[in-house]
Chains A and B, each alone.
Chain A
Amino acid sequence: DPKIIQKPKYLVAVTGSEKILICEQYLGHNAMYWYRQSAKKPLEFMFSYSYQKLMDNQTASSRFQPQSSKKNHLDLQITALKPDDSATYFCASSTGTTNTGQLYFGEGSKLTVL
């Protein structure tokens, strides 16, 4: 059974709308992350959280807002959607944010913005 649950797996949105991507992990990890994989581009780091606090943000746009309501949740709210936001968004978690921590990835949420 997957230990990192991402919902929905696929979603389609119209330009200008808002969507929330859900991520829950059942690994007991303290650190959670969001990565984005756009077509023909490498997987790209977006955010890291540790104990529900933002540790690093590499996303230039404030339209992307992580939300951590519980220790094992890290949702991603995206507002004013643009076609360039079309990508697969991966949630990940690890025991900590040190270099020895193995990252476990969810199966992704594929977003298409029309």
Chain B
Amino acid sequence: QQKVQQSPESLTVSEGAMASLNCTFSDGTSDNFRWYRQHSGKGLEMLVSIFSDGEKEEGRFTAHLNRASLHVSLHIREPQPSDSAVYLCADYAGNKLTFGIGTRVLVRP
């Protein structure tokens, strides 16, 4: 069964500085990998979905996938206080998502 590990557990960045989050998987054969964001008390919002090795950009969010190293990262460019949330990575396989436990990001003005 796929296991998803996220790091760091929490991250504090200043507004405008790059934020980088990491995710490793136990099995790289999944169909695709996704990053979600969860504001407190809200549902999940998908940020980026990436299928192939390399980079995928969606606005200020860029995901990098390396299947060989079982690693996907998320970079948040020019983060704003409204980006403060829990960020979840997930892999999609067998028609379901397997999530990591999340990285709590705090963006300070």
- Contact partners of A97 in chain B: CB under 8 A: 95
B13 to A: closest C-beta gap in Å: 23
Residue B92 CB within 8 A of the other chain: yes
A41-B101, A44-B99, A107-B41 given as contacts; is B46 within 8 A of A99 (CB)? no
Closest B residue, CB atoms, query A10: B41
- Contact partners of A44 in chain B: CB under 8 A: 99
Question: CA of A33 to CA of B97 in the docked complex: distance in angstroms?
Answer: 11
The A-contacting residues of B in range 88-109, CB under 8 angstroms, are: 88, 90, 92-102
A55-B95, A56-B95 given as contacts; is B32 within 8 A of A99 (CB)? yes
Residue A86 CB within 8 A of the other chain: no
- Contact partners of A92 in chain B: CB under 8 A: 44
Most buried by B among A55, A97, A99: A99
B31 touches A99 (CB 8 A): yes
Instruction: Give the interface size bracket for B toward A.
Output: 20 to 34
Instruction: Give the interface size bracket for A toward B.
Output: 20 to 34
B100 touches A42 (CB 8 A): yes
Question: CA of A90 to CA of B95 in the docked complex: distance in angstroms?
Answer: 17
A39-50 vs B: 1/0 string, CB under 8 Å?
Answer: 011111100100
Residue A103 CB within 8 A of the other chain: yes
Residue B72 CB within 8 A of the other chain: no
Chain A residues within CB distance 8 Å of chain B: 2, 4, 33, 35, 40-45, 48, 55-56, 58, 90, 92, 97-99, 102-108
Minimum-distance CB pairs A-B, first 6? A99-B31, A105-B43, A105-B44, A43-B99, A45-B96, A42-B99
Q: List 19 A-B contacts (CB under 8 A).
A: A35-B97, A41-B101, A42-B99, A42-B100, A42-B102, A43-B99, A44-B99, A48-B95, A56-B95, A90-B44, A97-B95, A99-B31, A99-B93, A102-B46, A102-B49, A105-B43, A105-B45, A107-B41, A107-B43
